[in-house]
Amino acid sequence: MLEIDELSVSYGAVRALDGVGITVERGGITAVLGANGAGKTTLLRTISGLQPARAGRISWDGAELTGRAPDRIARGGVAHVPEGGGVITELTVDENLRLGALWRRDRADRAAARKEVYELFPPLEERSAKPASTLSGGERQMLAIGRALMSRPGLLLLDEPSLGLAPLITARIMGILRDLRASTGLTVVLVEQNAHSALSIADRGYVLALGKVVAVDTAAELLADDGLRHAYLGF
Ligand code: ATP
């Protein structure tokens, strides 16, 4: 379980997160929604150890993450796909994937993880020797997710995977995430401005506004709440 309690994060005088509490059950998909600047990216960066917390606690699987270095958090099974994916366009698809498991010692294990990723995303296997710069936006997002999966994480943090993608491609990526959760029991935190897509696969959702949680409910209830949708979710 991911437990975030009273988390506050500031950039100088800007309070990006203010007493945020979030609980994510193992094997669940939780959507974190909200407008530009609500604090969504900051939340993921703080879970990953890339941004220090000013106050509060974060734990995953009973282990305290707050104050730990990002590499230790990653080794503890937390993988982060940043906004835009962070794919290295000069490297091939295969090289990008290998980067995701550099620190895993067991070669057979790395090869098995790569095989699984290619099974999950066949377009990546077809283009494995091509530079990542030749991929479409959707394929780059697949590569970014695939690279994160190379470490066989227990917790996957995804920052706006639908950004800039056509609706059909977004739906395909959401479908893959849903299947992945079903087949591996992966726990997913999905940050999205595209609330409708995210709620279509999430169990639960949190809505952030100006660094605070303003709503938390099942995905079905959030989708059905017209007032909330109009006020915060923009659809
Ligand atoms: P977006 O969808 O634009 O990424 P977000 O919900 O992810 O928005 P954050 O990027 O976490 O929001 O930003 C939360 C607040 O913190 C905003 O007011 C933003 O301007 C501010 N902020 C974010 N990063 C920095 C930074 N490096 N320095 C100063 N202020 C920042």
Q: What is the pLDDT of residues 34-75, one digit of tens each?
A: 988 999 999 999 999 999 999 999 999 999 999 999 999 999
Hey, is 38 helix, strand or coil? coil
Q: How far is the CA of 203 from the centre of ligand 1 (A)?
A: 26
Lowest mean pLDDT among 17-21, 98-102, 199-203: 98-102
Q: What is the pLDDT of residue 138?
A: 93
Q: How far is the CA of 148 from the centre of ligand 1 (A)?
A: 23
For residue 60, count other CB atoms closer than 10 A to its CB. 21
> Which atom of ligand 1 is closest in space to residue 83's alpha carbon?
4
Q: Angle, to 10 degrees, between the axis of helix 137-149 and the axis of helix 167-184?
A: 20
Residue whose C-alpha is closest to residue 156's, from 82, 49, 70 = 82
Q: What is the pLDDT of residue 103?
A: 74
Phi, psi of 18 (to 5 degrees): -135, 90
Q: Is the CB of 36 under 6 A from ligand 1?
A: yes
Q: For 140-194, what is each residue's pLDDT tens digit?
A: 999 999 999 999 999 999 999 999 999 999 999 999 999 998 888 899 999 998 8
- Indicate which residue's Cα is closest to atom 17 of ligand 1: 37
Q: Which residue has the higher pLDDT, 228 or 117?
A: 117
Q: How far is CA 67 from CA 49, 58, 75, 93, 165, in A?
A: 7, 9, 15, 33, 35
Q: How far is the CA of 167 from the centre of ligand 1 (A)?
A: 25
User: pTM for this structure?
Assistant: 0.94
**Distance of alpha carbon 129 from alpha carbon 144, whole angstroms:** 16
Enumerate residues 6+ apart whose C-beta is below 8 A from 31. 190, 191, 192, 195, 198, 199, 202, 204, 205, 206, 219
**Distance of alpha carbon 10 from alpha carbon 55, whole angstroms:** 10
Decide if 8 contacts 168 (C-beta within 8 A).
Answer: no
**Distance of alpha carbon 166 from alpha carbon 202, whole angstroms:** 20
- What the block records as the tokens of 188 is 């997913």
ipTM of the complex: 0.93
Hey, is 151 helix, strand or coil? coil
**Distance of alpha carbon 146 from alpha carbon 213, whole angstroms:** 30
Q: In which residue are the tokens 């935190």 written? A: 189
Domains of the chain: 2-233 (3.40.50.300)
Q: Is the CB of 102 under 6 A from ligand 1?
A: no
